């Protein structure tokens, strides 16, 4: 890859800037991600490697860690490990998702609220107790009662639901909040997938009947599927979690499950829970039964959340060794317009008239509502610029030089396939938006084909582990018994070394149940088909999707 | 006011629900706000007083505390004092402001980011040290290094600015984040005005020159003025803070200042700071001087923030003894449509046809983009409904009964003035939006007239304290010396009892400088006009606005 033409001074300047953080970062980053430290020591004038130094297929974890940094989606927070700074590239994607989802839940009648970030007791958050961040001092004074930062808000919100919900007229009662929560994970953290603080929305609703609650759980799940499929071009399988995998406090959990072809792992996308009456009984959230005057009725509750994890799934799925690949619908810059073919010989006059033509192209695209930027940076070769924008994931590159101008066309290159071509300037306003939608669809179709190909319906136990080792998830007849699920995890541990989340080779994990797909394959006969676990004597209740997973 | 027709059972039910929180709330609320506890003891079946029990003019503080609760803008968080739950009524207003401001800063090229909520050292936040909330434990393990929740993010963000800003090509560098910050105030807290956690946006930018930084400071201040004047109908005075009142870490501070007629107090609206090079020198944020190759240049920085305090100012200014008064542009419900005039004698057929007409009115308004709700609640009298929607601040009430239908009109009542009238149904789609804009303008004009009338330009010291005691702010010739400003505060303390923020009468505070208005009155002659403080021998530098204030 070509390097920017720079004076050694400005190179030095860069190195100095990088050096400021290098020391602190090196230590943390090395611990966190076995990352090569960008930049170098103070005074070291070596240039920065802008590209990614490893391959997605040979070292997936390091590839991912480098990618999210170099594509400027996140920055490691060197002050405190397990925390990440979300940079504008990531916040743009999150805001597109937020606006899309918010518009739809408003139509459903969900209202917005904002509860405090602290709770004063760990009642009803036992599951999170080991991960609670406790504030014990204000200034230099000890608090009489320590307070914890919310890991989720059920225990913060539901006492007020008991107060606010007074009559069946108040139902459905639906609130959502956009905030961040803190879970002080002991486990390995990974940008977007597992962080000690993350952004999400949490919806908490109450209904008169189970039927009404169920309807909403599934409506929300369909919106979560829409975020993945329509915005992020990520195919998902909709289903129900098994008892072992559902939200502990809840009644049942619906989920959308994704798949990462590179390592064959399943990944949970988002969950929409029916809490049943468990919490309304704990917090005494009741209304008078409209059908039996005087009888009190515990409300049916749901909670549902979508977090910035979605960005990590999108990045892992579409991106490549050149860097990030963004679906056009969530790309802040959909088209990067790069003037080319100007040499030292080009006259000032020709430069000016070419610049004017570039301006016109920009205006045409802007008027066509295409999010376009022009790269007029001086001192950088086109080759450097191409690599830089590929790293940042811009879906479509348009090159425009005097030769193109003469033919009244622009030359383009697709980020997803590398495919090149030309578009007549006269058709720019229609062809470019079409091409962006073509890219959006191509990304989805490719991922969908791969997921379908690697979702194996198996009825032969001996094929299960080999299937996992060749990067598939499997759908098998299963009795749904928690103990049997545990045993299946044990039985499917493989001695063959596989890459773990920390990038180290390790004996690979056993398979977990991902979900009971709503869309069940044919051929399971109740009371006849056996659970596939050879040690299990029970009949199968359903086809269940299992896989190694995040 | 009429009471809802209710079975004693459902009244009992209400009382029971209220009782759940009453005990805890009573204690805290009493401490916090001398609030009468709504509801009553368990088993007490007395009805809830829905209206406000005190008058804005006789007990402003209690009026405010009751209003924000009963209009359902906030709920006290009984778990931890000084924290408030923002309910949908408040979040709607905040989201209108957020969308309006976000759109405009995006046009300016400000990008969005999200930094972690914790900082690990109190360096550079000394000013906030007494208010820092310290996390010392995760689960049951003590942290090696305690971390504090951000009170503001300069110290969190600027180390990364030093890393990211490498060249003058990276300037202007502008990031904004929407988040909440925690300042564990020892002082009396008040909903919106002073809370231990509050929502805000914080913009942090870097520029090549002072001139460019100054330009942005003023552009942002104008947006803050726009939030108050165009959205919230709150007039503000734009100006510069004196040395005593500026942001300590900064170079100079611009501000918009509001005025509360009921108690004659000034109130700071929002501030936009030029930080100068103070922080860039602390954090070593430099670029190479484009004009002097090799010379390093410390960047010029700004920071600017707008918080949910704006909602408190709006509430204090416009609302009255009946409850909240919302400017139409920020009202979630702009028009409440209430069917009236149906009696026990009305036939089912007539009821049905009237209901159909109401539906048609609703559709007409909805198509005209008027945010409209219909109050079809059964078991409540029109009188109760009127009072309930007045309490909640809906700008325009439309009543529609058989008599109106016969005349093909609707009857309306303005929330701001109480003025009543009729509108021909045929003109609904044009007249209602006009009327809403009329209300918006009327609220602003009334407040603006009052602020102008109570902003006294004085050149006679003896008139200052009487002016304050009769609820004015004053604009006086001032030398701008910090010591003189302190002395003026002392000299203007009044023995006459005035109501303090806690609703208690107390000897009233001295006056503080609110700002040096950009719009300076005539008549100040440099080197001739004396500072108005009789003990001061200096010449006046400018007209400065002083007042008792929040």
The single residue listed with the structure tokens 């010029």 is B300
User: How many angstroms separate the CA of residue B116 from the nearest CA in chain A?
Assistant: 6
Contact criterion met (CB < 8 Å) for A197 and B118? yes
Give a three-class secondary structure readout of A422-464. Answer: EEEHHHHHHHHHHHHHHHHHHHHHHHHHHHHHCEEECCCHHHH
Distances (CA, A) of B106 to B152, B174, B304: 22, 10, 15
CB atoms within 10 A of CB A536: 17
Relative orientation angle of helices A88-108 and A210-226, to the nearest 10 degrees = 150
The verdict on a CB contact (< 8 Å) between A136 and B134 is yes
Measured in angstroms, the CA of B36 and the nearest CA of chain A are apart by: 17
Question: Cα separation of A504 and B475, whole Å?
Answer: 70
pLDDT of residue A151: 96
Across the interface, do A79 and B121 touch by the CB < 8 Å criterion?
Answer: yes
Chain A contact probe: residue of B131, B133, B195, B377 with most A CBs at under 10 A: B133
How many angstroms separate the CA atoms of B322 and B51, rounded? 7
Among A362, A95, A97, CA closest to B111: A95
Contact B139 A114 (CB under 8 A): no
Nearest CA in chain A to B185: A138
Which residue among B91, B112, B117 places its CB closest to the CB of A197? B117
Residues of B in contact with A133 (CB under 8 A): 135, 137-138
Torsional sign, CA A189, A190, A196, A200: negative
CA–CA min distance A382, chain B (Å): 18
- Check A184 against B377: CB less than 8 A apart: no
Q: Which residues contact A485 (CB under 8 A, 6 or more apart)?
A: A242, A244, A478, A512, A513
Q: How far apart are CA B311 and CA B232, in angstroms?
A: 8
Q: Is the pLDDT of residue B141 over 60?
A: yes
Looking at residue A244, the DSSP 8-state letter turns out to be: T
Nearest residue in chain A measured CA to CA from B176: A88
User: Per the CB < 8 Å rule, is B166 touching A197?
Assistant: no
Burial class of residue A341 (count of CB atoms within 10 Å of its CB; 0-12, 13-18, 19+): middle
Mutate which of B114, B125, B162, B293 to test chain A, going by most A C-beta atoms within 10 A?
B114
Report whether B376 contacts B339 (CB < 8 A): yes
CB contact under 8 A, A20 and B169: no
Q: How many CB atoms lie within 10 A of CB B319?
A: 23
Inter-chain residue contact B131 with A112, CB threshold 8 Å? no
Shortest Cα distance, chain B CAs vs residue A114, angstroms: 5
- The verdict on a CB contact (< 8 Å) between B111 and A134 is no
Q: Do A134 and B136 touch (CB under 8 A)?
A: yes
Write down the pLDDT at residue A39: 34
CA distances from B537 to B480, B481, B529 (A): 12, 11, 11
This model of the complex carries an ipTM of: 0.89
Interface with B, mutate which of A12, A79, A150 (most B CBs under 10 A): A79
The Cβ of residue A10 has, within 10 Å, a number of other Cβ atoms equal to: 18
Looking up tokens 């993945």 gives A228
Contacts B119 to A, Cβ<8 Å: 79
Question: CA-nearest residue of chain B to A285?
Answer: B17
Per-residue pLDDT, averaged over B64-69, amounts to: 97
- Pick from A13, A121, A139: which is nearest to B184 by CB? A139
Report the predicted TM-score, pTM, of the whole model to 2 decimal places.
Answer: 0.90
Q: In Å, how far is B120's CA from the nearest CA of chain A?
A: 6
Instruction: Residue A115: list chain B partners with CB under 8 A.
Output: 77, 85-86
Q: What residues of B are in contact with residue A108 (Cβ under 8 Å)?
A: none
Instruction: Evaluate if residue B249 carries a pLDDT over 50.
Output: yes
Hey, what are A504's tokens?
């180290």
Query: Which chain B residues touch A294 with a CB distance below 8 Å?
Result: 9
Check residue A496 and give its pLDDT.
Answer: 61
Tell me the pairing of strands A265-276 and A252-260: antiparallel
Spatial separation of the C-alpha atoms in residues A96 and B96, rounded to whole Å:
17
Which H helix or E strand runs over A361?
helix A348-367
Instruction: Kindly report the nearest CA distance between residue B40 and chain A, in angstroms.
Output: 13
CB B461 within 8 A of CB B536: no
Inter-chain residue contact B86 with A114, CB threshold 8 Å: yes
Find chain A residues with C-beta within 8 A of B91's C-beta: 111-114
Buried b (16+ CB within 10 A) or exposed e, B475-504: bbbbbbbeebbeebbeebebeeebbebebe
Domains and CATH numbers, chain B: 100-137+144-318 (3.30.930.10), 330-439 (3.40.50.800), 455-547 (3.30.110.30)
Q: In this complex, do A134 and B129 lie within 8 Å of one another by their Cβ atoms?
A: no
Give the count of beta carbons closer than 10 Å to the beta carbon of residue A393: 28
CB B419 within 8 A of CB B377: no
Q: What's the distance, CA B130 to chain centroid?
A: 25
Q: Six-digit token pair at B322? A: 């009946």
pLDDT at B352: 94
Return left, alpha or beta for A124; rule: phi > 0 is left, psi -120 to 50 is alpha, else beta.
Answer: left
What is the least distance, in Å, from the CA of B72 to any CA of chain A? 10
Residues on chain B touching A146 (C-beta within 8 angstroms): 137
Q: How many CB pairs under 8 A join A and B?
A: 194
Distance CA A513, CA A547 (A): 7
Written as tens digits, the pLDDT of chain A (550 aa) is: 333 333 344 433 443 444 434 434 433 443 343 333 333 333 333 445 568 999 999 999 999 999 999 999 999 999 899 999 999 999 999 999 999 999 999 999 999 999 999 998 767 677 899 999 999 999 999 999 999 999 999 999 999 999 999 999 999 999 999 999 999 988 899 999 999 999 999 999 999 999 999 999 999 999 999 999 999 999 999 999 999 999 988 999 999 999 999 999 999 999 999 999 999 999 999 999 999 988 999 999 999 999 999 999 999 999 999 999 999 999 999 999 999 999 888 999 999 999 999 999 999 999 999 999 999 998 899 999 999 999 999 999 999 999 999 999 999 999 999 999 999 999 999 999 999 999 999 999 999 999 999 999 999 999 999 999 999 999 999 999 999 999 999 999 976 655 555 555 556 789 999 999 999 999 999 999 999 999 999 999 999 999 999 9
Question: Shortest Cα distance from B94 to chain A (angstroms)?
Answer: 10
d(CA B336, CA B72): 17
A119 contacts in B (CB within 8 Å)? 79
Q: CA of A183, closest CA in chain B: separation in Å?
A: 9
Is the CB of residue A180 less than 8 Å from the CB of residue A116? no
Q: Choose the closest CB to A111 out of B88, B159, B294.
A: B88
User: Tokens 């009044």 — which residue?
Assistant: B494
What separation in angstroms does the CA of B96 have from each of A109, B93, B104, B194? 17, 5, 13, 21
């Amino acid at each position: 890859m070509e390097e920017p033409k720079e004076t050694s001074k400005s190179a030095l300047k860069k190195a100095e800037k990088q050096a400021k953080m290098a020391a602190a970062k090196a230590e943390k980053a090395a611990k966190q991600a076995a990352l090569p430290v960008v930049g170098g020591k103070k005074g070291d004038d070596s240039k920065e490697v802008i590209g990614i130094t490893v391959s997605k297929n040979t070292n997936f974890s390091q590839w991912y860690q480098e990618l999210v940094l170099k594509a400027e989606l996140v920055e490691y927070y060197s002050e405190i490990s397990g925390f990440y700074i979300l940079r504008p590239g990531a916040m743009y994607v999150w805001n597109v998702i937020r606006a899309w989802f918010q518009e739809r839940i408003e139509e459903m009648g969900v209202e917005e609220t904002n509860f405090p970030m602290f709770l004063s007791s760990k009642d009803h958050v036992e599951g999170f107790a080991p991960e609670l961040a406790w504030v014990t001092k204000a200034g230099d004074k000890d608090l009489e009662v320590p307070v914890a930062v919310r890991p989720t808000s059920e225990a913060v919100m539901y006492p007020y639901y008991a107060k606010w919900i007074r009559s069946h007229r108040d139902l459905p009662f639906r609130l959502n909040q956009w905030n961040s929560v803190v879970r002080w994970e002991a486990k390995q953290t990974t940008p977007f997938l597992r962080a000690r603080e993350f952004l999400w929305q949490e919806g908490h609703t109450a209904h008169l009947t189970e039927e009404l609650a169920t309807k909403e759980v599934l409506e929300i799940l369909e919106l979560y599927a829409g975020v993945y499929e329509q915005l992020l071009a990520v195919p998902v399988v909709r289903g129900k979690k098994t008892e072992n995998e559902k939200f502990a406090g809840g009644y049942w959990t619906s989920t959308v499950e994704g798949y990462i072809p590179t390592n064959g792992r399943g990944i949970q996308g988002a969950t929409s829970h029916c809490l049943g009456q468990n919490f309304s009984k704990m917090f005494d959230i009741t209304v008078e039964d409209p059908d039996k005057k005087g009888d009190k009725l515990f409300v049916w509750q749901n909670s549902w959340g979508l977090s910035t994890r979605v960005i990590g799934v999108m990045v892992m799925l579409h991106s490549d060794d050149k860097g990030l690949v963004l679906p056009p619908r969530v790309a802040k810059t959909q088209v990067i317009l790069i003037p080319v073919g100007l040499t030292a010989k080009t006259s000032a006059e020709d430069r000016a008239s070419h610049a004017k033509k570039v301006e016109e192209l920009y205006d045409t695209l802007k008027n066509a509502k295409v999010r376009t930027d022009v790269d007029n940076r001086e001192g950088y070769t086109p080759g450097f610029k191409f690599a830089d924008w590929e790293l940042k994931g811009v879906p479509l590159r348009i090159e425009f030089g005097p030769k193109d101008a003469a033919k009244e066309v622009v030359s383009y290159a697709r980020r997803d396939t590398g495919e090149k071509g030309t578009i007549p300037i006269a058709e720019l306003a229609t062809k470019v938006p079409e091409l962006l939608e073509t890219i959006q669809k191509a990304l989805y179709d490719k991922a969908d084909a791969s997921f379908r190909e690697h979702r194996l319906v198996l009825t032969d136990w001996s094929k299960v582990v080999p299937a996992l080792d060749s990067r598939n998830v499997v759908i098998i007849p299963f009795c749904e018994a928690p103990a049997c699920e545990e045993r299946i995890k044990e039985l499917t541990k493989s001695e063959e070394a596989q890459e773990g989340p920390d990038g180290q080779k390790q004996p690979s994990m056993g398979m977990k149940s991902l979900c009971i797909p709503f869309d069940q394959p044919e051929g399971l006969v109740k009371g006849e088909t056996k659970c596939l676990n050879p040690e299990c004597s029970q009949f199968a209740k359903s086809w269940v999707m299992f896989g190694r997973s995040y």
